[in-house]
Structure 1
């Protein structure tokens, strides 16, 4: 749990897929990743990123140079396995928005879903960008 100034307390997951991201459903911030204005999603995600950076110390097991939060990915909250795509928006660096579901973000999201027992090894998930509708697929492998 972190306290996001102006938005209250939210639950976030931190995942690594080549870089660290904070993950949470947009709903926790009173938004919908599929229908809210992109500017509102970006503002909320940036506030989460700043709050995590102030309230949580990241550690990378091999290189402390990699122990930083790259951004926040707001999701539709549909993390359990489904044949239907799950949608997200990735806000990184200086409030930049990835046009795609984000390769390192999808990797981190799959790792979190597997860790939580929401997907199994070799189950393919499809991830959709809320801004462009582009799709990525991925799966947890041994």
Structure 2
């Protein structure tokens, strides 16, 4: 439950740090065309709600058991040759200019876990703010 935004479904995944993931559409936004300020405000509200409502655990270090930020996506998580777009809002409402290294790693782990991509299947991720691209894949 995100105050002022309603109930949303998030996934939490780890790629060097924990992120909450959800499509911007759940918040009435479009990650590709909404104003960055609106995306940042919505993502920050999600981060705060997750911090208040969920206790995270890290298998090796409890110092790493915290939500670092929220990544709003275009919802295109199933494998495609086309890039999928996201915005990463972290720390004190900072926006990563890139798709985010730890965020892409967490997003790949999540997509693999859900069976949306296979091992060694490359995905391309685009930053909604700069258009920069990262490519990654799940490996054993």
**Normalised by the shorter chain, which TM-score bucket?**
over 0.9
TM-superposed CA distance for 1:137, in Å, is 0.2
Structure 1 runs, 4 residues or longer, greater than 3 Å off: none
Per the TM alignment, residue 108 of structure 1 is displaced from its structure 2 partner at its CA by 0.1
3-state SS in 1 of match to 2:40: helix
Q: 1:104, CA displacement in angstroms?
A: 0.1
Deviation at 1:43, TM superposition (A): 0.1
Q: How far off is 1:8 after superposition?
A: 0.3
Q: Per-residue deviation at 1:124?
A: 0.1
Identify unmatched segments of 5+ residues in structure 1: none
Root mean square deviation of aligned Cα = 0.2
1:25-75 deviation line (CA, Å, top 9, x unaligned): 000000000000000000000000000000000000000000000000000
The DSSP-based 3-state class of the residue aligned with 2:139 is coil
Query: Which structure 2 residue ranges, 5 or more long, are not aligned?
Result: none
1:137 aligns with one of 130, 135, 138:
135
Q: For the residues of structure 2 that align with 1:107 and 1:67, how far apart are their CA atoms?
A: 17
Query: How many residues of Structure 1 are paired with residues of Structure 2 in the alignment?
Result: 140
What's the TM-score, normalizing by structure 2? Answer: 1.00
Q: Distance in 1 between matches of 2:91 and 2:113?
A: 26
SS of residue matched to 1:15:
strand
- Alignment partners' CA distance in 2, 1:136 and 1:33: 17
